């Protein structure tokens, strides 16, 4: 898949292309990343990309024309390469993205991501040239670059072949609408803490069952909103009930011991 990013700070995207899972995916051609600087599309001698807001107030607003031309150039290059790209603008006013959105984004042939700076961009650019507006969370960053990189990282690691192990992405937190189970590695005992015995049992079915139960319990304890949103199948409900019964038993036992 193809990403074209419209940004005043193309160097920042080296974070993605220098090392790590995304860098490897880019090198192997699973995805491509091209940056487009609106300053290169400004027509005045100063290469102006922003101006004061109508109506007054602090900060500067990014002008329509340089952004419009940068987006057009990016879309054209994508089309020539056979990608019908949609345009997304990163901003705190956008729809908040979750894992399911990352899957949808990964299924598209390409995206032009517009990273805004200053106080924002002229609203008329969004109306006429942007298909979607995305937020990565309810907080304000000083620009859309980090948000664009967050989206690209979350999407590119989902592409087939991006991760070493074929199942890794499916097993992530949120992969199935659940948080991930806990993980352990050697040694078996450290600082008085041991590894749950089932993980040492070699019984693959028991291990899979324990992991599923842990994922369900964690989600129930930490993010009940996620459980409410996705609902529970019969098997999952039984696993969660089993944990609750165990807890109730432990609590009753504790009470008996205390009295």
3 state DSSP class of 135: strand
Strands (E), 84-222: 86-96, 110-115, 120-121, 132-135, 189-190, 193-194
* 95 labelled catalytic: no
136 binds ligand ADE (CB under 6 A): yes
Q: Give the bridge partners for 36, in sequence order.
A: 6
Size of the site for ligand ADE (CB under 6 A): 11
61 binds ligand ADE (CB under 6 A): no
> What DSSP state is assigned to residue 165?
S
Which entry of 119, 176, 180, 242 is annotated as an active-site residue?
Answer: 119
* 182 labelled catalytic: no
3 state DSSP class of 69: helix
Query: Judged by CB, which is closer to ligand ADE: 91, or 213?
Result: 91
Which entry of 53, 69, 92, 180 is annotated as an active-site residue?
Answer: 92
Contact pattern from residue 142 through residue 171 relative to ligand ADE, giving x for each residue in contact according to CB under 6 A and a dash for the rest: --x--x------------------------
* 109 labelled catalytic: no
246 binds ligand ADE (CB under 6 A): no
Q: Least distance in Å: CB of 140 to ligand ADE? A: 5
CB 25 within 8 A of CB 42: no
Q: How many Cβ atoms from other residues are within 10 Å of residue 75's Cβ?
A: 20
What distance separates the 2 farthest-apart alpha carbons in the chain?
84
Q: Of the listed pieces 36-44, 64-72, 140-148, 227-235, which binds ligand ADE according to CB under 6 A?
A: 140-148
Angle between helices 234-258 and 204-222 (to 10 degrees): 80
Q: Note the residues at the interface with ligand ADE (CB under 6 A).
A: 90-92, 135-137, 139-141, 144, 147
Report, as residue numbers or ranges, the catalytic residues.
92, 119, 157, 172
């Amino acid at each position: 898949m193809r990403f074209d990013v419209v940004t005043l700070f193309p160097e920042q995207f080296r974070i993605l292309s220098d090392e790590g899972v995304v860098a490897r995916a880019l090198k192997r051609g699973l995805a491509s990343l091209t940056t487009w600087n609106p300053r290169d599309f400004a027509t005045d001698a100063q290469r102006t990309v922003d101006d004061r807001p109508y109506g007054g107030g602090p900060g500067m607003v990014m002008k329509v024309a340089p952004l419009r031309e940068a987006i057009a150039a990016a879309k054209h290059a994508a089309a020539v390469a056979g990608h019908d790209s949609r345009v997304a603008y990163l901003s705190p006013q956008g729809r908040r993205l979750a894992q399911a959105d990352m899957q949808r984004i990964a299924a598209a042939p390409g995206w032009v991501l517009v990273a805004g700076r200053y106080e924002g961009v002229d609203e008329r650019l969004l109306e006429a040239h942007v298909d979607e507006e995305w937020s990565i969370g309810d907080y304000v960053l000083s620009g859309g670059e980090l948000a664009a990189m967050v989206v690209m990282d979350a999407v590119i690691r989902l592409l087939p072949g991006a991760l070493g192990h074929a199942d890794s992405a499916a097993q992530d937190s949120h992969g199935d609408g659940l948080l991930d189970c806990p993980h352990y590695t050697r040694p078996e005992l450290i600082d008085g803490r041991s590894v749950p015995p089932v993980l040492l049992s070699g019984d693959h079915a028991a291990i899979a069952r324990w992991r599923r139960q842990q994922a369900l319990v964690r989600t129930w304890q930490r993010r009940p909103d996620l459980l409410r949103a996705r609902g529970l199948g019969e098997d999952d409900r039984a696993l969660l009930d089993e944990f609750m019964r165990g807890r109730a038993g432990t609590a009753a036992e504790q009470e008996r011991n205390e009295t």
